[in-house]
């Protein structure tokens, strides 16, 4: 999601439907107690909290 900027593009990359991905992201946000993505009418942006979690969770060491 953080690299795609759109739920539909990320869903295609994950081989799931857009609604399924949206629900799963919402569940993760609820579980963490923070908003990871800011949704707008034209894109999905990573919040500061989401960015910190994304960078902390990368396995390849890239920044």
Q: What is the mean pLDDT of residues 57-61?
A: 52
The region that residue 33 occupies, defined by phi over 0 for left and psi between -120 and 50 for alpha, beta otherwise, is left
Task: Say which residue, 41 or 23, is predicted with more confidence.
Answer: 23
The pLDDT tens digits for 5-24 are 788 898 999 999 999 999 99
- So what's the pLDDT on residue 42? 83
Q: Which residues contact 12 (CB under 8 A, 6 or more apart)?
A: none
pLDDT band (50, 70, 90) for residue 2: low
């Amino acid at each position: 999601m953080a690299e795609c900027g759109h739920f539909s593009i990320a869903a295609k990359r994950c081989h799931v439907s857009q609604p399924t991905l949206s629900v799963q992201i919402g569940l993760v946000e609820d579980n963490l107690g923070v908003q990871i993505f800011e949704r707008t009418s034209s894109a999905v942006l990573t919040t500061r909290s989401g960015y910190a979690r994304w960078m902390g969770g990368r396995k390849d060491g890239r920044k």
